[in-house]
Amino acid sequence: MKIAVLISGRGSNLQALIDDVSKPGGPGEIVLVLSNVADAHGLKRAEAAGIPTTIINHQDFQDRVTFDAAMTEAIEASGAELVCLAGFMRLLSTPFIDHWRDRLINIHPSLLPAYKGLNVPQRVLDAGEKEAGCTVHFVRAEMDTGPIIIQARVPVLADDDADMLAARVLEQEHVIYPKAVRLIAEGRVTVEGEQTLIDARPADVPDNKA
């Protein structure tokens, strides 16, 4: 499977994907890393791995739709079949999301549908939660929604601060994002309505939790 990865920053989840596809029997090839930020560290990760990169600055466009259309053009030119959001810090337009429907996935640092949006670790701590986690899901027009592919859970420890909790969650992001890409590349994931099935079973069964 040919994969495009969209980034805005350090690219740690990108690196997890690069490491996984480079293994023997990897799930596919990352054919493009696209960033809206010219100095995003993730671009250096891609270049070190010999992956083509493209910078499309959102500030060069009058609105989200035209920016997203430029991204679609670049992604399609790469031949990518799956688009992975990995710390891409721009809201996507409905036409872009609809165009890539069920071919566009995201990772979010919470157990969706809880804690959509930003500053998740601190919000989890403020709420007194006993566990946190992360979710890989297909993208829909409403932020941080869409059929869930896989989740991982981590405990919230008594002495946690937001940074400590975020680091523990990020470790699991690096596990489940490559796993989700492999499931899709192997043809084991289907979407029926707004539910994800893995090997024809609902994706929320315990066997599919990391």
In this structure, the answer to whether residues 94 and 118 fall within a common structural domain is no
Is the pLDDT at 126 greater than 80? The verdict is yes
In this structure, the answer to whether residues 118 and 198 fall within a common structural domain is yes
Average pLDDT over residues 157-178: 98
Active-site amino acid positions = 108
Is the pLDDT at 207 greater than 50? The verdict is no
**Last residue in a domain, options 74, 100, 126:** 100
In this structure, the answer to whether residues 114 and 207 fall within a common structural domain is yes
CATH number at residue 33: 3.40.50.170
In this structure, the answer to whether residues 36 and 132 fall within a common structural domain is no
**Last residue in a domain, options 100, 135, 164:** 100
Tens of pLDDT, residues 169-186: 999 999 999 999 999 999
In this structure, the answer to whether residues 144 and 70 fall within a common structural domain is no
In this structure, the answer to whether residues 111 and 94 fall within a common structural domain is no
- pLDDT band of residue 197 (cuts 50, 70, 90) is very high
Is the pLDDT at 100 greater than 80? The verdict is yes
Phi, psi of 154 (to 5 degrees): -135, 150
Tens of pLDDT, residues 27-63: 999 999 999 999 999 999 999 999 999 999 999 999 9
The number of CA neighbours under 13 Å toward the Cβ of 22 is: 11
Residues 6 or more apart in contact with residue 207 via CB below 8 angstroms: 201
Average pLDDT over residues 179-195: 96
Show the 3-state SS of 120-175.
HHHHHHHCCCCEEEEEEEECCCCCCCCCEEEEEEEECCCCCCHHHHHHHHHHHHHH
In this structure, the answer to whether residues 41 and 59 fall within a common structural domain is yes
What is the end-to-end Cα distance of the chain in Å, rounded? 22
In this structure, the answer to whether residues 76 and 163 fall within a common structural domain is no
In this structure, the answer to whether residues 158 and 195 fall within a common structural domain is yes
Is the pLDDT at 206 greater than 70? The verdict is no
Can you give the residue range of the structural domain that contains 159?
107-210
Is the pLDDT at 77 greater than 90? The verdict is yes
What would the two tokens of residue 26 be?
């990897």
- Mean residue pLDDT across the chain: 95
In this structure, the answer to whether residues 46 and 132 fall within a common structural domain is no
Count structural domains, the chain: 2
> Residue 68, Cα to own-chain centre: how many angstroms?
17
Residues 6 or more apart in contact with residue 125 via CB below 8 angstroms: 156, 160, 161, 162, 165
In this structure, the answer to whether residues 200 and 155 fall within a common structural domain is yes
Instruction: Tell me which residue of 151, 169, 168 sits closest to 208, measured CA to CA.
Output: 151
Tens of pLDDT, residues 130-151: 999 999 999 999 999 999 999 9
**Last residue in a domain, options 76, 100, 124:** 100
Q: What percent of the chain has pLDDT over 70?
A: 97
- The pLDDT assigned to 200 comes to 87
C-alpha separations of 188 from 84, 161, 200, 208, 209 in Å:
17, 37, 8, 12, 15
- The pLDDT assigned to 204 comes to 64
Is the pLDDT at 99 greater than 80? The verdict is yes
Task: Tell me if 82 sits within 8 A of 102, measured CB to CB.
Answer: no
In this structure, the answer to whether residues 88 and 135 fall within a common structural domain is no
Q: Please name the amino acid found at residue 81.
A: E
The model scores a pTM over 0.85: yes
